[in-house]
Structure formats: structure tokens, C-alpha cells
Structure 1
Amino acid sequence: MAPFSLVTASVSWLAKTFSVFSSKSVLPAAYLNPVRCLTSQTSAPPKKPLNGYLRFIMQQKPVLTRHNPEIKSVDIVRKIAQQWRTLSAEQKRPFEEASLRAREQFKMDLQRYNAQLTPTQIQQQALEKRQRMAKRKALRKKRKNIVCFLQELNNLGKPKRPRSSFNIYMSEHFEEARGATTPEKMQSLMEDWRNLLIHQKQVYAQLAEDDKIRYKNEMKSWEDHMMEIGREDLIREQTLLNNKRTAAKTSVAKTAKAKVVKKVTATGKSKTTRKTAKSSSVKKVRTIRKI
């Protein structure tokens, strides 16, 4: 009877467990997120269709990758872009027509998708869209401010930052570098730089050190000029901190010098007063003796 009772107890425990997990009151209503309901109750929103150019890339990329496995994905896309630019309007038409058909299908799918949404889900989507638009707007504004700031620095004549030894080497040998595109030239120059001997690299290292000295001197003159015209907001924080420390040291030195001068002056006056008093007392003694 023991095994039978054990089986009965196990069945009853499984039944209780199933009843607990099947109950609707397992989680409170506060844990139900509208976004999660959107993905569970309705199908996913339709994806925007590709344009003709992207359809051409999707068609040509596997072919080029299969025939050129050693080429990087970026270079393959670049080659496909060159091919697209050389195509005629008649050759591009099938891809563009397919894009138009997919766009029409996307509109119908989007209408069906929006029709099955609840008001809460629609509000949630609108909120997320506003948040995305606000984020993009803030990012565009930040980029615009950075561009304007750099343009202002350029107009004010801010010195260019010092170049590294490799940058100097690259600027000197870029024209005769191997490769048809800029990335290919950069890659070949990097390989050549790694293969240079130490004494060959030392020449460019010395040029880089000279460029650092040039930058330091030009920045000092430029920041002094910015101080004169009242543009302290463009001066580096470390320079401002060093200027404050120098001003504080100068103030302390002036104060100490003033105290020393005052002390010396007071000492001189006291000596003069004692001499005057001594001379007057001597005169009085002489006068008394004469009398």
C-alpha cells in the first residue's frame, strides 16, 4: 500500500501545482506592461520595405562574398555601390518597382496591424514615438552645436593639435601608397609602418616631438589672446587652474614683500627717532655745561 499512497500524494501535489499556475491571480495587475501585452496579444508590427538600392545590395552581396571570401564586408558593399552607380535607369527599374510593390503591401499590413491595437497600446506607441523623435532632435541639436563650436574655434585661429609620428609618416607617403581607395591606402601604410626599422621611425618621432613644442607655444599665445578679448570659456581648464595658482603665488609674494618693506621702513623710522632723541639729549647736556 505504501507505493500506491506515494503515487496518490504525487498526483495530488501535481494537481495543486497546476491549479496554482493556471490561476489568473498569480501576478498583480501592476506587473502587466502595455508593451509586453502588445507583443503577446498582437502580431509584430510590419517592417518597412527596402528601397531599390538596398535590394540590389541584398541580391549582389552573397554572390560577391562567395567569389571573394577574403574581402571584408565593408569593401564588398563599397564595390556594390560602385556597380549601382554604373547601372542605367532600365537596369535599376526592376529593383525600384519591387520596392514600390513592397511599399504598397507595407501600407496595407500597417493598417491591419493598427486596427487590432487597443487604445492603451496606441497611446503607448505614440509615447514611444514622441520619445524617439525627441531623442533624435536632441542628438541633431548636439551635433549642430559641436559643428558650430568647431567652426568658431577655426575662425578664432585655434592652433591645430600635434600630429603623431605615424600621422606624419602617412601624410608624407599617402600619394604613393598601395591601394585604390582611402581605406586600402591606410591599410598598406599601416603595414609599411610596422615594418619600418627603429632608426627609421625615430626620424618621425623627433618630428612629432617638434610638433608638440610648436603646439604648446602656439596654444599659449592663443590662450593669452583669448584672455585679452574676454573669451575665457575657450581656454582649457588646466590652463585656467595654472593661471589661478600663479596669481595666488604672485599675490602671496607681493603681500610678503609689502610686509618686509613696511617692517624695514618702521625699523628705519625707529632708528632715526632714537638718533634724534640722542642728539637732542647731547645738545642739552652741552648747553647745561656752558651755563
Structure 2
Amino acid sequence: MIITSWRLLFPINGVNLCTSFYYRRLATTQESISKLKRNIEKNILPPKPKKPLNVFMQYFLSMKDKLHKEYPNCTQQDLVKKVAKQWAHVEPTVKQNLQKQYMEQHSVYKQKLMDYKNSITDDQQMLIKKELVKKEHALEKSQVKQKLAELGKPKRPLTAFILFVQDNKMSKDSHVSQQDWLSNLGKEWKNLTMEAKSKYITDAAQLSEKYKVEIKKWEENMIREGHQDLLKSTLKSKHDVDIDKHKK
């Protein structure tokens, strides 16, 4: 699903979009989805068994305390570099013992991981899938919104009430919270006479008409440039298809 989405957002043959850019953004998105999945699993499932440390890291930990005493002012990164130099001269028998220890730990890890996967219930898997679909659509929506802004999509016009709020923003008391201030303005707006509201209603109507002209012109331009898949009607139908697939 996510690959299809990015083909829609960044068509390989699209205007001014090169192939390398497409694949770079696609890789970033796949990483984002993988991260989303891991975060969802953390919230739903018990912790996964941890992989054993590799042979070098086990050796590093065995030397760490000694090195800290010898080089108290060294950073962790510097200590790793020092151990890396020593590692090349470590006796083969020491490396073999560490390798044997690692293989034993890895064997235990594999069994724990298998038991862990077998313990995941169908309900948990279904819940993960549902949450992932929701997060994917939220991510896609955010990416589409960003892309539309880059392509110069006209902003929606302000409503009459928002124009009224803008007219009164200079009178806001700094001691009153934003929420309370807006709530009070809402009550004030509700009690305004139609005559007092008419200016804002007229201005909002004019902005709306201007927006209709601009959005139509922009959509026509998007179609000419090969970005018709970004238009709202197309995205909506795609979203519905994805939801239907998930339900099945």
C-alpha cells in the first residue's frame, strides 16, 4: 500500500521529479512505516527478547571497567576505538571462547524469539494491523499535505467568524487563556446582530469566491503537470479502497 502511495505522490515520470529523488523519499517512508509498526507493537505486545551482543561488544564490555580506570577522561567513543585496536591482537583462543559464548547465547535467543512469536494472539495481531492502517493513513495525509503546500495549493478561505476573531485579536487580555478568549468571542459572535455580522459574512463570501477560482485554476494546472493523483477526489477514492482491502 505504501509503495503505491508514493508512486502516486512522486511518479517516476512526473514533471521535475527524478528517479533518485523518488527512491530516496520512498526509502524514507518505508523507514517511517517500520518505525510506526515497532512503536505500535511496543504498546500492544510484551517486550521482545533481546539479541545477544556480538563478539566484539562482549570483549569491549569485559575491558570497559579496566579502561575507565586507565583513561578516566576518555569518552565512550574513544574507548571503543582503543579496544578496536587491541582486538586485532587478541589471542585466537580468547576470540574462540567469546564466539562460542555468543553462539550459545544466540541459540537461546532464537528459541525465546520463537516462543515469543508463538505467544502473540490473533487478537493482538489484528489490533496491530488496525492501528498500523490508521497510522499509515495519518502519515500519508501529512505527506500529501506537505506536498500540496510545495505545489502551491491555495489555502482555504477564512470563515466569517475567523475574520471576526482576527479583528479582535489585538484586544486579547494576556491574562486570559487562548481557549477562554476564543470561547468568549464565540459567545459574542453568537449574540451579534445580523447587521454587525454582515461585514464579515460579505468578506468571507468574497474570499470563498476567490478561492473557488484559484483552486480550479490550480487543479487544472496540476492535471497539466501530471499531478492529478494528488487531487482530493482521487485521494479519497484511494483511501476508500485501502479501507475495503483491510476489512476483507
Higher relative contact order (CA 8 A, sep 6+): 2
Could you state the TM-score of these two structures normalised by the residue count of structure 2?
Answer: 0.43
- Structure showing greater Rg: 1
Could you state the TM-score of these two structures normalised by the residue count of structure 1?
Answer: 0.37
